[in-house]
Amino acid sequence: MISPKQLQKLAAEHGTPLFVVDHDAIRRNYAEFKKYLPRVQAYYAVKAEPDPAIVRTLYQAGASFDVASMPEFKIVYENIKGMPQKQRQDWIWDKIIYANPIKPTETLEQLDPYKPLVTYDNLEEVRKIKKHAPHVGLALRIKVPNTGAMVELSSKFGAAPGEAVDFILAAVKEGLTVEGLSFHVGSQTTNFENYVQAINLAASIFKEAGDRGYKKMNVLDIGGGFPAPYDATVKPFRELAKKINTEIDRLFPKNIEILAEPGRFMIATAGTSVVKITGKAVRDGRLCYYVNDGVYHTYSGIIFDHCQYPLKSFRKGPEESCAVFGPTCDALDVISMSNNLPSDLELGELLYSVNIGAYSHASSTYFNGFPPAKVVHINEKTASGKTTAPRACVCAA
């Protein structure tokens, strides 16, 4: 794990606000995922943090990818563009899923020559795919319980289980191939029963499809949702993995490929932000710190992801509950109304937040003239495995 001393050194060298990405942590997370879910092929959900350097590290580690827009597809494609055509096509088929159930027709037309696996969850989409991307493979996204997830997704996507086989047969009738099913139990799912229920639901749909004559499905995509260890209440990943392994081995024969689309799990713990105190005031008896990063930038996950990233000080001192505000002139730009910090911090001192790698810098804006934080990559490796020096990259989110 990156040390406070190292963070201070990077801030001294590169300035603030900083978004530090530790590639050793990404490799560790990927290895942990593979270790505890050996039967599951991990497709990194690029939306969680689409920095090309992160995609490259996961590519080098052997990961597959979940993309949900054409620009994300292109970020992954950069890594394979030099492959011979046949090898590249096989790679795309084996290692990319386009997991946005609703796709503009232009996107479908651009995707079609690459023939990836794509998800769908309604009949209008079947008609669109038939017309604009008849060469892709299909996975039906089904609606599953998202109980207790930090970010609920089931009201936006997913065919109702009762309609699932009708939707599969409708696609097949159009001459398309449905390779299997996908679901998402909700992001940061700490209620592991969501996975158990979803896998059982999927198994019953596989069975119904078989009973109604369609036996070609050979893929189950168990989606994302794998929780990051934000605090001690999150049970260890191996406990979740044990439940998943038990259910997939019980319900799905070995010839069914199991995929997953972890985003947060891969990247949350690899990101750390460093901010500078730019103002200090007491309002209504509460000590307020103003810092140079906020909810329109690296801390955007507070709004979009319903996540909290407590700020820590680099030095000790008598603490009190403080408000911490971002740099913009907008009242929404509140990082916390209650963050324990030393009360004697001075302007120019630094604070940091750990576990801020997912859905944070990815949704950073330029609002109010403030650009996204500078990104610094540490522990990147070259293709030959040599660790490179820390590298700053002023790239748009």
Ligand X SMILES: Cc1ncc(COP(=O)(O)O)c(C=O)c1O
Q: Which of 2, 26, 48, 111 binds ligand X (CB under 6 A)?
A: 48
Give dist(CA 84, CA 338) in Å, integer: 55
Determine if 264 is a binding residue for ligand X (CB under 6 A): yes
Taking Cα atoms as reference points, which of 221, 136, 217, 225 lies closest to residue 174?
136
Q: How far is CA 304 from CA 4, 28, 42, 187, 356, in A?
A: 27, 26, 24, 12, 13
Q: Which is nearer to ligand X, 195 or 265 (CB)?
A: 265
Q: Which is nearer to ligand X, 305 or 333 (CB)?
A: 305
Say whether 280 sits in a helix, a strand or coil. strand
**CB neighbourhood size of 362 (10 A):** 23
Q: Which of 128, 184, 361, 377 binds ligand X (CB under 6 A)?
A: 184
Using a 10 angstrom Cβ sphere, with 0-12 exposed, 13-18 middle and 19 or more buried, the burial of residue 124 is exposed
Whether the upstream peptide bond of residue 17 has omega within 30° of 0, thus cis, is: yes
CB of 15 to ligand X, least distance (A): 30
* Window 90-129: contact mask with ligand X (x via CB under 6 A): ---------x------------------------------
Q: How far is CA 308 from CA 291, 301, 311, in A?
A: 16, 8, 9
Q: Which is nearer to ligand X, 49 or 293 (CB)?
A: 49
Q: Which of 22, 247, 261, 333 binds ligand X (CB under 6 A)?
A: 261
Q: Which is nearer to ligand X, 153 or 351 (CB)?
A: 153
Q: Reply yes or no on whether 329 is catalytic.
A: yes
CB of 268 to ligand X, least distance (A): 8
Residue from 288, 307, 322, 329 carrying the catalytic annotation: 329
Determine if 66 is a binding residue for ligand X (CB under 6 A): yes
Q: Which is nearer to ligand X, 227 or 326 (CB)?
A: 227
Say whether 260 sits in a helix, a strand or coil. strand
CB of 124 to ligand X, least distance (A): 18
Residue nearest ligand X, Cβ-based: 224
Determine if 143 is a binding residue for ligand X (CB under 6 A): no
CB of 290 to ligand X, least distance (A): 31
Strand 350-353 versus strand 257-260 pairing type: unpaired
The per-residue b/e assignment along 318-345, b for 16 or more CB within 10 angstroms, e otherwise, is eeeebbbbbbbeeeebbbbeebebbeeb
Which sequence positions are flagged as catalytic? 329
Residues that bind ligand X (CB under 6 A): 45, 48, 66, 99, 153, 184, 187, 223-226, 261-265
